[in-house]
Amino acid sequence: MPVDGRVQGALASRRIGLSQGVRVNGAIGVFDSGVGGLSVLREIRRELPAEDLEYVADSRFAPYGDRSAEVIRARAAIMVRFLESLGAKTVVVACNTATGVAVDALRASTTTPIVAIEPAVKPAAAETRSGVIGVLATPQTLASERFDHLVSRYGAHVEVLEQPCRGLVEQVERGDLSSAETRSLVEHYVRPLVERGADTLVLGCTHYAFLRDVIQAAAGATVTLIDPAVAVAREVRRRLTAANLLARNGRDGIERFWTTGEPADVQPVIAQLWQRRVQVSIISRV
């Protein structure tokens, strides 16, 4: 269903944020360029079963990894404003590319707490036995200054192999998680990293969590895969606890799903990945 006039009016405001008052029963807002952020939403739901969740897939502009930095920053700002218009008490950037390119600008433009996922270089560097780690990510994530900073700060004592993975996001967006085409793409990106000695691989895009079994098969059982989604969920809990904003226990939180794309296209894939029937509403004219 389209967004009604009240939401459109809220979107037109400069910013909402915590200064206008956040309630304990406000939702946790989560956004990604598409459906990949559902892997983060899944961990938040496990960690915080009483919280209401609002998820936005900016499907009309997916994947962010192929967009310019200017477009990514603009889209991320629109996603945050929309979630604030729904009364979100915190916003989770469930897209490594948006974090790398836009999170500093987002935090400077709102008082709403922003929790952002980023490639787990630090735990991978601590985990590796061979001294070589591989990072699977989009080209924009790997090209960002924020990623360079992560490698400089946490990867100085290991070899960090960067692997841009064009095409994998699109496979997940289609719900194609295990076809011969998907497996071939994964092997094309993963095998060279393993052959160069990587024993630890970072899933540097939230979409790739849905390809975990295929990636593990291509890498081999002795290679460790690291997905930062669990750490993000724990950070959300920590932030809400510190701010006294946790929902009351004893209730079951609900989820609502939104897209800037066509719900008829997006809904089946969200249902497939979320593993239950869902209703997906369209965000018009954003």
Residues carrying an active site annotation: 95, 205
Helix (H) or strand (E) holding 265: helix 263-274
Q: Which residue, chain included where needed, has tokens 């790739």?
A: 208
The angle at the Cα of 6, spanning 3 to 12, to the nearest 5 degrees, equals 90
CA torsion, points 231, 232, 233, 238, in degrees to nearest 10? 90
Question: Cβ(50)–Cβ(253) under 8 Å?
Answer: yes
CA distance 150 to 124: 11
Residues 6+ apart with CB under 8 A from 6: none
CA distance 264 to 89: 29
- Residue 89, both tokens: 């008490």
- Residue 79, both tokens: 């996603």
Q: How many CA atoms lie within 13 A of 210 on its CB side?
A: 30
